[in-house]
Structure 1
């Protein structure tokens, strides 16, 4: 066996002493997560910047109302971003109501954004500019419907689905539920209201004495069915109005869920308080005040008798 000379062994120890300590290896999956986070962060910053630039151009009139934006590939090159990043920017503007995406045609400007005002049940009339279609189905109450109507799960109910459009674009989706025992009071041949107000009217005409109504508003993401029906992004928001009608016996006679795309929704509720005759005279709005109020809400004063406002 060959022995190394003493000086060779010494040199080996010196090299080991001066060599840098080995660094701990970073797991591959950790490096992948870090890289993915950097990409997501960069895309979020870029798409928001692109959305802000397009938003400014739209508000300044560079892209007038009804104008089709350039093709997505051209916009991506113009702003120096990838097409997925650009689509996020366009989707953001769609959620804000500034763009109308028409499949197969492109992205069209809507400025000012199309608004739909939900006036509350106390001020609902037939005065609206929506085309409404309704379907009727007899079904069994699932847990959510049973809770709304305060009935047993599995009880028979009549479900009415109202789809309201302004022009060709869906603007609201309403599901109304009535206990089967009251279904005979509802005629499908009546004029329709986009939020099911025709049901309340027919109850009153049939002698059902209503005592109160409750409306509960929430904002949430749309379900896949709602997004598909209303032609909105599944990552947008919707305004949801849950409404119940209660008769003088304390029974829920109708429950509705109104879904309106969040980018075009506005809800206005007005409460009238009891006043003395002198107070009524002094608080009566003047013609000028009434006209100014209509202009604030974007109405032509000549249409001031309409209670459902729109921009």
Structure 2
């Protein structure tokens, strides 16, 4: 029965949309559901994968599958910081920050324009709204530009990471490259999304007044609920030349 998993997904979807399975409700265990529908656990997991891809359920390792609470859309504000002021100030927004020293390799060495092996301060930030991940950011600074002291002990880290803002001093230029793409396995795990989902990937570099790259950031957001907004400000000279 090649389409049995779709029939199961349809039945569970109806239970969710009609409220029989409410937001936050834990589904029966996978073996119990497989027995209920008289299918193998592999077929049952294919059905659950369909619903995960639709954002209707989410799986927590070691805890089971839950009906996903309604998720709001949020806004990425390009050029400085990532969350709009309302999202950034929301008390329900929680950010975990992991810090480390890593050597510049491959893409990072190219983005920061530093020799391979140069030490970088790494900040891996995952934002959550309640229990649901909103975004993932990997932020890199040359070691000499990182705030003094052991990584992770400065209050600056969590405050700035809450908005995924540039961690160094104000840059003269911020360049962002935006693309829609499939998620990597690490992003699937961190954002708890389906491998078939689409993410919004943003590569951001910040440059100071003398042309040095002072920060590189790799940002990833769920593509089905993220809007990216970029605002262009013209200089006075440009406004005078374009009346």
Alignment of 1:130 with 2:93, yes or no, is: yes
TM-score (norm 1): 0.61
Alignment of 1:267 with 2:227, yes or no, is: yes
Deviation at 1:232, TM superposition (A): 4.5
Alignment of 1:189 with 2:155, yes or no, is: yes
Unaligned runs of 5+ in 1: 1-41, 275-311
Whether the 8 Å contact between 1:132 and 1:192 is mirrored in structure 2 is no
Instruction: Tell me the distance in 1 between the aligned counterparts of 2:127 and 2:173.
Output: 28
Instruction: Tell me the distance in 2 between the aligned counterparts of 1:75 and 1:114.
Output: 29
Structure whose CA Rg is larger: 1
CA RMSD, Structure 1 to Structure 2 (Å): 3.0
After superposition, give the CA deviation of every residue in 1:228-253 in whole Å (9 maximum; x if it has no partner). Answer: 44445556554322111123333322
Deviation at 1:262, TM superposition (A): 4.7
Q: Aligned pair in 2 of structure 1 residues 192, 117: CA closer, same or farther (>3 Å)?
A: same
Matched ranges for 1:56-95 at <5 A: 56-95=14-53
Aligned residues: 224
Q: Which residue of 1 aligns with 2:184?
A: 222
TM-score (norm 2): 0.75
3-state DSSP class of the match of 2:155? Answer: coil
Unaligned runs of 5+ in 2: 235-243
Whether the 8 Å contact between 2:105 and 2:117 is mirrored in structure 1 is yes
Question: Which of the two has greater helix per residue?
Answer: 1
Alignment of 1:54 with 2:54, yes or no, is: no
Matched ranges for 1:10-159 at <5 A: 42-43=1-2, 45-113=3-71, 115-122=73-80, 124=82, 125=85, 126-128=88-90, 129-159=92-122
Structure with the bigger RCO (C-alpha within 8 Å, sep 6+) is 2
3-state DSSP class of the match of 1:177? Answer: strand
Instruction: Tell me the distance in 2 between the aligned counterparts of 1:114 and 1:106.
Output: 23
After superposition, give the CA deviation of every residue in 1:43-73 in whole Å (9 maximum; x if it has no partner). Answer: 4x22233223322332232322122223334
Whether the 8 Å contact between 2:182 and 2:195 is mirrored in structure 1 is no
Q: Aligned pair in 2 of structure 1 residues 119, 51: CA closer, same or farther (>3 Å)?
A: farther
Q: Aligned pair in 2 of structure 1 residues 119, 55: CA closer, same or farther (>3 Å)?
A: farther
Instruction: Tell me the distance in 1 between the aligned counterparts of 2:182 and 2:121.
Output: 26
Q: Which residue of 1 aligns with 2:241?
A: none
